[in-house]
Chains A and B, each alone.
Chain A
Amino acid sequence: MTGSSLSALTLTRRRALGLLGAAGATGLLAPNLLGKPAFAAPPASPSGQIIVGFSQEPTVFNPLMPRIEVDDGVHFSLFDALFRIDPEGQIQPALAAEVPTIDNGGISEDGLEWRIKLRDDVTWHDGAPFTAEDVKFTLELVVDPNFRSWRTAGHDLVRDITVVSPTELTWRMETAFSPYISILCETFIVPKHILEPEPDRNTAAFNHAPIGTGPFKWSNRIAGDHLELVANTDYYGEGPYVERLVYKYIPDLTVLYTQFKSGDVDIVGNQYITPDNFEEAKSLPGKVVKVVPTATVESLYLNMGRPQFQDPAVRQALYAALDKQTILDVLYYGLPSTTETYMPQQSYYYNPNLPEHEFNLERARELLDAAGWAPGADGIREKDGVRLSFTNSTTSGNHLREQAQQFLQQTFREIGVEMTISNLPPAVMWGEFWTQSQFDSVMVGVVFMVGGDPDVTSRFHSGAIPIQGGRGANNNQYVNPEVDALLEEGTRTFDPEARREIYWKVQEKIREDLPLLPIFQYTTVRGYKEGLEGIEPNINTRIDTWHAAAYYWDE
């Protein structure tokens, strides 16, 4: 049986099972969503082995240090955070016994006092009990100036962490900050009894042989090749169902795909199957191949500090002259979906009511004419001494983007706008050129959300512009006081429904102002061997092995 199905991310295994129960008919299910026998059950004790292929090498095993996606993938297997975010965007307890809210008294009305209750049945991989001391130690280590920690946002607001009992702790926030709960979903708890005695936590032995509370234990690592984890049979949560989980490093995407075909890897992990192989992949016998959306949104990102882009009519005209569908169909095999916003469509906070983009060169010309941009001698429009000409940059060597650039260059030319292409190698492109807003415009795929939280202060708040001394990554220098106010309100609001309203408005404003011209939301082609169960994509995490504990072989 050939495995191939286009599944919407929202149709998860759990939801599908609910659907099945309600309708009482297997016919409702997309083929292969559940594998061959519709009701596969995980084995009673861990058995077998799964090899996940990654095209980047996981090398950072202290989960609090600077890391990339594939490192996250391994951390999810070894460690637990207080909470985890599920594919629907709901926050679920992990090491915590419940998710604190204002309603259940875990968070005070003003959002400042937090009280966390922990599970009492968790042990570290070395047998030591997990307690509130470990949580306190972790949260303090993240902001320790001597520790090379990664993001400190949110953690730097925490004060007076108090251990009430081994299963309870409290702290106070400097200001109310609702995204902190999502940040805690990505903050894996590390063992105090191992790390505290270490004189230098940056070079501790723990960093090469981590001890966590997660479903899998560290076994060994062959640098440059693979690392092996073994089942933690004392795990408190669901799973693990396989004896051994292997993360294999295969640096070349063609080779990764070949080894998927040959059966050497069971799951094609991060960077997945390249779109050009999709047609062949979905006809491979014994493999399940799916198209899964990711949180990355491709856009034409405009530097609002440039005089060319300060007139809203220019941005609207460029947007009208953007032939998204052709780019998608011709260059991206029609796999991604067009979008009007920076927010992934699978997010709880996605606003589906934004005005729909229409490719219309005539309208683009009218907009520019009406705003007084008149063609000059060379056919390029200008107004008040500003020529409607700009450069566009992206990573050189990205063939798809380069072709999209050339395509846009031609269509923009038709409305009297000159776009020159100046691409740079990755290290230069994403260095100061990007962070210090030295570009005119960029073709870029950006994940705007941090984890599952809709807070985009660091991307769109006027106080987050690095070149103006701000803290953040508002690299296109977008300023809108209304958006500032909304974003500030959003981080003070704890009720998800109220927050959704706020972030819908933010998306409306961004769609109106167009500091970036959204083109499409990326999808990835993922594949795994038939008979593997429990694989569930999650738009709210950076990597699809977020829940490897639930993987099993249906035999």
Chain B
Amino acid sequence: MFGYLLTRLWQSIILLVLVSIIGFAILNLTPGGPLSQFALTPGMTQEAMDRIAEQMGLNRPLPVQYLDWAWRLVQGDWGTSYRDGQPVLSVIGRHLFATLLLMGSSTVISIALGTWIGIRGATHRYSLFDYSATIGAMVALSIPTFWFGLVGIYIFSLKLGWVPAGNMYTIGDGSVLNYLHHLILPSIVLSLVNVAIWSRYMRTATLDVINQDFVKTARAKGLRERRVLMKHVVGNALLPMITLAGMQLPTLLSGALVTETVFTWPGMGRLFLDSLGYSDYPVVMGLLMFSAILVLLGNLIADLVVAAVDPRIRLG
């Protein structure tokens, strides 16, 4: 087990180095750069831009800039944002809260609702419920989230006035209730697609298990149907879902750009887009490393959990 972890760790580090080199190169080779946003500013001259570039260290050769960045990162210094001069880690941290709040609540809704719909669809196959769930899932999957978002805002905010038209909270009112009120619409909109995905996976996984011999044996033992379903069917059907959940961890923390934009939610997705738009290299690199680590970590955790839950799998 320990040896296995060590191997995974080494592989991860090599991967991270590769990701960072490629990311850094692509970012810096893109024409433009952090100063191009000032090019049309009245009174801005090439001379002034050159001076600022020199002060920011942007005129050094790329490998030097990369090594400088990497060496600082190894020492725990993620750099400071070009845009607002804040340390990269604290920039990410502040947006992470918003994203965790939104993605967390949406994930809870998706998993709970998706699992239930999936199981019910499988146990009541070809029923009205199953058909409606299937059609609903197809609709949810094919219509873009921003459309749901805008329609939701139009109906529930502008016309009915039930929920706010966006934002994380009312400025000047930071109460929990206020946060929850603002959370309703975006988290539901965001979970629509995920409920669809989860329910489809769950339905298939349940169908795979439901006709297996051990389920028949359980029924033959005279167990109550409910107990058969909960213990034997769902327990086993959930196994592939763990891998799915592990793969969702990075998405969970990297934010949902479209939903965040439509609902003016200051999360990670928007941070990434804004930082790209301003060529805020330190933050973009920070986000890149952050999500790379999450992907690796998510996969590792999923593998470990599956191994722990599924007696057929042994690591090492």
A99 at the interface (CB under 8 A from B): no
What residues on A are CB-neighbors of B279 within 8 Å? 427
Q: Mark A439-456, 1 if CB is under 8 A from B, else 0.
A: 000001011111100000
Question: Would A223 and B94 be within 8 Å (CB), given that A255-B261, A435-B46 are in contact?
Answer: yes
Whether A252 and B171, one on each chain, are in contact in the complex, defined by CB atoms closer than 8 angstroms, is no
Cα of A244 to Cα of B170 in the assembled complex, Å? 14
Which of A208, A251, A450 contacts B84, CB < 8 Å? A208
Q: Which residues in window 10-53 of B have CB below 8 A to A? A: 30-33, 35-49, 51-52
Q: Which residues in window 267-307 of B have CB below 8 A to A? A: 267, 270-271, 273-274, 279
B85 at the interface (CB under 8 A from A): yes
| CB pairs A–B below 8 angstroms (6 shown) | A223-B84, A262-B164, A264-B165, A427-B31, A427-B279, A472-B46
What residues on B are CB-neighbors of A426 within 8 Å? 32, 36
Stretch at the interface among A144-152, A371-379, A481-489: A144-152
Cα of A451 to Cα of B41 in the assembled complex, Å? 11
Which of B91, B264, B267 contacts A250, CB < 8 Å? B264
Whether A246 and B86, one on each chain, are in contact in the complex, defined by CB atoms closer than 8 angstroms, is no
Cα of A254 to Cα of B51 in the assembled complex, Å? 37
Whether B84 and A226, one on each chain, are in contact in the complex, defined by CB atoms closer than 8 angstroms, is no
Cα of A241 to Cα of B87 in the assembled complex, Å? 35
Q: Which among A51, A152, A248, A251 has the greatest number of chain B C-beta atoms within 10 A?
A: A251
Q: A208-B85, A225-B168, A431-B33 are in contact. List 18 more A-B contacts (CB 8 A).
A: A60-B85, A68-B38, A208-B84, A224-B98, A224-B266, A225-B264, A225-B266, A228-B171, A258-B150, A425-B32, A426-B32, A427-B31, A427-B279, A430-B32, A430-B40, A458-B45, A464-B45, A472-B46
Closest to B278 in A: A59
B172 at the interface (CB under 8 A from A): yes
B166 at the interface (CB under 8 A from A): yes
B309 at the interface (CB under 8 A from A): no
Whether B37 and A473, one on each chain, are in contact in the complex, defined by CB atoms closer than 8 angstroms, is no
What residues on A are CB-neighbors of B55 within 8 Å? 146, 148, 202
Which of B47, B85, B267 contacts A471, CB < 8 Å? B47
Shortest beta-carbon distance, A81 to chain B, in Å? 15
Question: Would A447 and B42 be within 8 Å (CB), given that A60-B84, A255-B262, A262-B165 are in contact?
Answer: yes
Cα of A262 to Cα of B30 in the assembled complex, Å? 39
Shortest beta-carbon distance, B71 to chain A, in Å? 19
Q: Which residues in window 66-92 of B have CB below 8 A to A? A: 80-81, 83-86, 91
Whether B44 and A473, one on each chain, are in contact in the complex, defined by CB atoms closer than 8 angstroms, is yes
Cα of A57 to Cα of B280 in the assembled complex, Å? 13
Interface size of B as a range = 35 or more
What residues on B are CB-neighbors of A61 within 8 Å? 84
What residues on B are CB-neighbors of A208 within 8 Å? 84-86
Whether A264 and B42, one on each chain, are in contact in the complex, defined by CB atoms closer than 8 angstroms, is no
A1 at the interface (CB under 8 A from B): no
Question: Would A224 and B95 be within 8 Å (CB), given that A148-B55, A203-B85 are in contact?
Answer: yes
What is the size, in residues, of chain A's interface with B at 8 Å between Cβ atoms? 62
Which of B45, B86, B95, B262 contacts A473, CB < 8 Å? B45
What residues on A are CB-neighbors of B40 within 8 Å? 430, 444, 446-447
Shortest beta-carbon distance, B309 to chain A, in Å? 38
Shortest beta-carbon distance, B108 to chain A, in Å? 23
Q: What DSSP secondary structure best describes chain B's contact surface?
A: loop
Closest to A466 in B: B46
Whether B85 and A57, one on each chain, are in contact in the complex, defined by CB atoms closer than 8 angstroms, is no
Shortest beta-carbon distance, A207 to chain B, in Å? 5
What residues on A are CB-neighbors of B157 within 8 Å? 262
Residues of chain A touching chain B, judged by Cβ–Cβ distance below 8 Å, are 49, 51, 57, 59-61, 66, 68, 146, 148, 150-153, 202-203, 207-208, 222-226, 228, 244, 246, 248-252, 254-255, 258-259, 261-262, 264, 425-428, 430-435, 444, 446-451, 458, 464, 466, 471-473, 542
Whether B43 and A428, one on each chain, are in contact in the complex, defined by CB atoms closer than 8 angstroms, is no
Give the total number of A-B pairs whose CB atoms are below 8 A apart.
Answer: 155
B123 at the interface (CB under 8 A from A): no
Cα of A425 to Cα of B30 in the assembled complex, Å? 11
B167 at the interface (CB under 8 A from A): yes
Which of A222, A259, A430, A464 contacts B36, CB < 8 Å? A430
Cα of A148 to Cα of B35 in the assembled complex, Å? 13
Closest to B83 in A: A59
Which of A207, A248, A435, A458 contacts B43, CB < 8 Å? A458
Shortest beta-carbon distance, B28 to chain A, in Å? 12
Whether B46 and A473, one on each chain, are in contact in the complex, defined by CB atoms closer than 8 angstroms, is yes
Cα of A255 to Cα of B94 in the assembled complex, Å? 22
Cα of A307 to Cα of B47 in the assembled complex, Å? 27
What residues on A are CB-neighbors of B85 within 8 Å? 60, 202-203, 207-208
Closest to A445 in B: B40
Residues of chain B touching chain A, judged by Cβ–Cβ distance below 8 Å, are 30-33, 35-49, 51-52, 55-56, 80-81, 83-86, 91, 94-95, 98, 150, 153, 157-158, 164-168, 171-172, 261-264, 266-267, 270-271, 273-274, 279
Question: Would A152 and B166 be within 8 Å (CB), given that A223-B266, A426-B36, A450-B42 are in contact?
Answer: no
Which of A224, A259, A431, A446 contacts B271, CB < 8 Å? A224
What residues on A are CB-neighbors of B95 within 8 Å? 223-224
Shortest beta-carbon distance, B11 to chain A, in Å? 34
Cα of A473 to Cα of B39 in the assembled complex, Å? 9
Whether B270 and A449, one on each chain, are in contact in the complex, defined by CB atoms closer than 8 angstroms, is no
Whether A255 and B166, one on each chain, are in contact in the complex, defined by CB atoms closer than 8 angstroms, is yes
What residues on B are CB-neighbors of A458 within 8 Å? 43, 45
Whether A259 and B165, one on each chain, are in contact in the complex, defined by CB atoms closer than 8 angstroms, is yes
Cα of A430 to Cα of B35 in the assembled complex, Å? 10
Whether A259 and B172, one on each chain, are in contact in the complex, defined by CB atoms closer than 8 angstroms, is no
Question: Would A248 and B171 be within 8 Å (CB), given that A208-B86, A431-B32 are in contact?
Answer: yes
Cα of A233 to Cα of B249 in the assembled complex, Å? 49
Cα of A225 to Cα of B271 in the assembled complex, Å? 10
Sorted from nearest, which 7 A-B pairs have the closest CB atoms? Answer: A427-B32, A224-B266, A59-B84, A225-B266, A450-B43, A262-B165, A430-B39
Cα of A259 to Cα of B30 in the assembled complex, Å? 35
Question: Would A68 and B171 be within 8 Å (CB), given that A208-B86, A431-B32, A458-B45 are in contact?
Answer: no
Question: Would A431 and B39 be within 8 Å (CB), given that A153-B45, A262-B165 are in contact?
Answer: yes
Shortest beta-carbon distance, B27 to chain A, in Å? 11
Closest to B40 in A: A430
Shortest beta-carbon distance, B144 to chain A, in Å? 14
Whether B262 and A252, one on each chain, are in contact in the complex, defined by CB atoms closer than 8 angstroms, is yes
Which of A146, A427, A432 contacts B30, CB < 8 Å? A427
Which of B33, B47, B86, B158 contacts A258, CB < 8 Å? B158
What residues on A are CB-neighbors of B30 within 8 Å? 427
Cα of A450 to Cα of B44 in the assembled complex, Å? 9
Which of B42, B51, B80, B150 contacts A203, CB < 8 Å? B80
Closest to B261 in A: A252
Shortest beta-carbon distance, A53 to chain B, in Å? 9
What residues on B are CB-neighbors of A432 within 8 Å? 31
Whether A49 and B172, one on each chain, are in contact in the complex, defined by CB atoms closer than 8 angstroms, is yes
Cα of A177 to Cα of B172 in the assembled complex, Å? 47
Which of B47, B52, B158 contacts A261, CB < 8 Å? B158
Cα of A427 to Cα of B165 in the assembled complex, Å? 32
Whether B45 and A262, one on each chain, are in contact in the complex, defined by CB atoms closer than 8 angstroms, is no
Shortest beta-carbon distance, B167 to chain A, in Å? 6
Whether A222 and B262, one on each chain, are in contact in the complex, defined by CB atoms closer than 8 angstroms, is no
